[in-house]
Amino acid sequence: MGCFSCFSSHGKAPKKRKNCRRKQSVSLHSGSLKPQQQHHYPAPPPSENPKGNQVQNEAEKENEIGGKNNIAAKTFTFRELATATKNFREECLIGEGGFGRVYKGKLDKISQVVAVKQLDRNGLQGNREFLVEVLMLSLLHHKNLVNLIGYCADGDQRLLVYEYMPLGSLEDHLLDLPADRKALDWATRMKVALGAAKGLEYLHDKANPPVIYRDLKASNILLDNDFNAKLSDFGLAKLGPVGDKSHVSSRVMGTYGYCAPEYQRTGQLTLKSDVYSFGVVLLELITGKRVIDDTRPANQQNLVTWACTIFKEPTKFMDLADPLLGRDFPVRSLNQAVAVAAMCLHEEAMVRPLISDVVTALSFLGAEATHSSSLSLSSIDDPSLIVSDQNLINQSKSNDEEIAEARQRAVAEAIEWGSSSKQNAAASRRGSCSSL
């Protein structure tokens, strides 16, 4: 990742370290993965690992100088978190993945139920990703981003403390459902999609500099009791291009099936890379199918490849609908959701919409899904129900004068941000030159 201290005028950039390639995410929620064997770890002396102290010192330095940036992450001792999770007992284990284990715990001093992510000391997430996630979630605050409560960097222990999300991840409620679990209805699916899109919109349009999330997938979208979506797991997040730059270069990381094709080919990362990943998640919401599944017929094992053949024939959009929906949804809303997914999944990054336009379109679809009754299946052949990709955005914009005014304000803000960003970059370069 680039210089994270760009978020703070006095911050010091953390040193780069080599990282292992990421393979699997850990969800910070309940019931998503089968509990494993019980493990108990003694509390390490706080100064036995110089690298651990360096990570903690750098994070604490950001805390000290980051008051203007609303850094609110607390530091916890290993013993405090061990007590909160009953010494990391099996009964508290709620998830496990390539980076370590996640436990449910209760912090008595703040009277709050939390999710404690204990990174495997020999696992895939290194000190750099740990620091990135601490700083990212300390500096970025939005209702559609998971809330980081604090962290622990005692010795060689690395733990992150998050708000507890009782409904788990989107993956738990959408993919490979057990027979006794009810499928999400259409309105809830569109609500989750809109929440995830708003989280990305904040990262892309409101954060300064912009942030590329780089790991959007169903298991990283967490849900509260009302199915409000929050993005989690920011270890792979990267600062986006600023000024005249069109992309940032990066080693290809992420989850197979969700990565944009141009990023996989070239390592060039843009905000549109996240838009592609969002298109994959939206397609999973529409179909109820995993993006990659080798148990399906050969021509359907890659969900995006299969769906792209249907995108060209709008009269077949119903073939994409999750059978568990029971065809209980507005057909117009389905058609338009498929059109949005097709736009996001376009092979050419420049053709994909901005995430702010996706939010506009999904706001329109969400309202329609909530207030419209399902149309009869015979109406699917009605040409008026099929909208082109660009017409969808135009229709949703013109549908409400308030939305149009909001979009104008957003454009004005973007222009103002672009101007100030270039000025800040120029001032930074002058400052660097004068210090030589």
Q: 117 a known binding residue? A: yes
User: Does 215 participate in catalysis according to the annotation?
Assistant: yes
Question: Could you tell me if 124 and 23 are in contact, meaning their C-beta atoms sit under 8 angstroms apart?
Answer: yes
Give the E-state strand segments of 268-373 in sequence order. 268-269
Three-state DSSP at 240 gives coil
Distance, CA of 55 to CA of 319 (rounded, Å): 51
User: In Å, what is the CA distance from 182 to each residue of 106, 277, 324, 326, 385?
Assistant: 29, 26, 9, 12, 29
Catalytic annotation, pick one of 154, 205, 215, 357: 215
Three-state DSSP at 102 gives strand
Question: Could you tell me if 385 and 395 are in contact, meaning their C-beta atoms sit under 8 angstroms apart?
Answer: no
Per DSSP, the chain holds a count of helices (H) and strands (E) of 12, 12
Distance, CA of 436 to CA of 426 (rounded, Å): 16
Measure the CA angle with vertex 204, ends 163 and 172; round to 5°. 40
User: In Å, what is the CA distance from 385 to each residue of 32, 333, 361?
Assistant: 38, 9, 16
The interaxial angle of helices 355-371 and 186-201, nearest 10 deg, is 160
**Annotated binding site for ATP: which residue ranges?**
117
Q: Which residues are annotated as a binding site?
A: 117
Active site residues: 215
